């Protein structure tokens, strides 16, 4: 599995940016079936069941997490997805754990972030409890020791983030936060809360803002995880420079918002 993902590992360890090469359609089956949503979803579901089986057996370790994430990366490229990733040096050159604060658009970033970030920094997610109890994804996510929120009691969730998030960071584990209430194809600054900045301030670690455009993978009608793919839409992921929190963090929160807003506006053109 690692050999198949060598091209991903190389750019993560040595490059600041990455764009999908023109010749990524490696296999005949990919070329014959790449226009079909059925093919993409069949391969994706197969990978999900494979990882679930490993997690249930207690075999889903960090290396497996990275490899399975990079397998989905390759699947997306094989089905016509075009990645444009920048700012990898900001992860590589920042010492110690950080709080990654990102907008949230689709299933894609949840699946891809581990394969991009974990080889450079130990990381976990802040997630809703529905994900850790999901019949397919639950075992996998629980194995990653996430910070779990109910999204039903904001005050309680805030305390959980401050306590458990601080615990992960004190152990050297970076945390990925999606501060929006739900996934959206448009970035709405007013709906972007400051929980990530507050956690970083409490832990005395920097924030790395992450701007994404991942509407290549749409949300499904019956389940958001099995939506259509749009090959004409490029995939953008930009990791910003670390932001160190001073004072209340109000200015730094606005800096995170502006970073994401400016990139998402640019990518519309």
Q: 3-state SS string over 165-221?
A: HHHHHHCCCEEEECCCCCCCCCCCHHHCCCHHHHHHHHHCCCEEEEEEECCCECCCC
Most confident range, picked from 26-30, 155-159, 182-186? 155-159
pLDDT of residue 78: 87
Q: What pTM did the predictor assign? A: 0.91
Helices and strands, number each (H, E), in the chain: 12, 8
Q: Comparing C-alpha atoms, which of 125, 126, 124, 137 is closest to residue 160? A: 126
Domains identified in the chain and CATH numbers: 3-268 (3.40.1130)
How far apart, in whole angstroms, are the C-alpha atoms of residue 253 and residue 189? Answer: 10
What pLDDT band is residue 21 in, cutting at 50, 70 and 90? confident
Taking only the tens place, the pLDDT of each residue in 124-134 is 999 988 888 88
How far apart, in whole angstroms, are the C-alpha atoms of residue 74 and residue 2? Answer: 12
Taking only the tens place, the pLDDT of each residue in 240-263 is 999 999 988 999 999 999 999 999
How far apart, in whole angstroms, are the C-alpha atoms of residue 47 and residue 183? Answer: 23
């Amino acid at each position: 599995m690692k050999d198949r993902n060598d091209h991903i590992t190389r750019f993560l360890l040595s490059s600041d940016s990455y764009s999908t090469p023109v010749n990524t359609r490696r296999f005949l089956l990919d070329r014959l079936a790449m226009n079909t949503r059925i093919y993409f979803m069949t391969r994706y579901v197969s990978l999900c069941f494979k990882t679930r089986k490993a997690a249930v057996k207690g075999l889903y370790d960090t290396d497996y997490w990275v490899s399975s994430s990079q397998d989905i990366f390759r699947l997306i490229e094989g089905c016509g997805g075009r990645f444009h990733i920048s700012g990898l040096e900001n992860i590589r050159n920042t010492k110690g754990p950080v709080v990654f604060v990102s907008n949230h658009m689709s299933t894609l970033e949840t699946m891809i972030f581990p394969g991009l970030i974990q080889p450079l920094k130990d990381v976990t997610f802040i997630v809703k409890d529905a994900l850790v109890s999901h019949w397919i994804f639950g075992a996998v996510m629980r194995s990653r020791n996430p910070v779990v929120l109910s999204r039903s009691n904001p005050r309680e969730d805030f305390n959980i983030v401050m306590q458990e998030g601080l615990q992960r960071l004190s152990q050297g584990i970076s945390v990925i936060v999606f501060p929006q209430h739900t996934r959206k194809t448009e970035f709405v600054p007013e709906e972007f809360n400051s929980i990530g900045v507050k956690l970083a301030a409490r832990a005395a670690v920097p924030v790395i803002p992450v701007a994404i455009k991942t509407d290549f993978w749409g949300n499904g009608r019956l389940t958001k995880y099995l939506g259509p793919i749009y090959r004409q839409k490029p995939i953008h992921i930009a990791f910003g420079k670390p932001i160190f929190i001073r004072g209340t963090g109000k200015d730094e929160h606005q800096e995170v918002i502006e970073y994401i807003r400016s990139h998402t506006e640019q990518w519309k053109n």
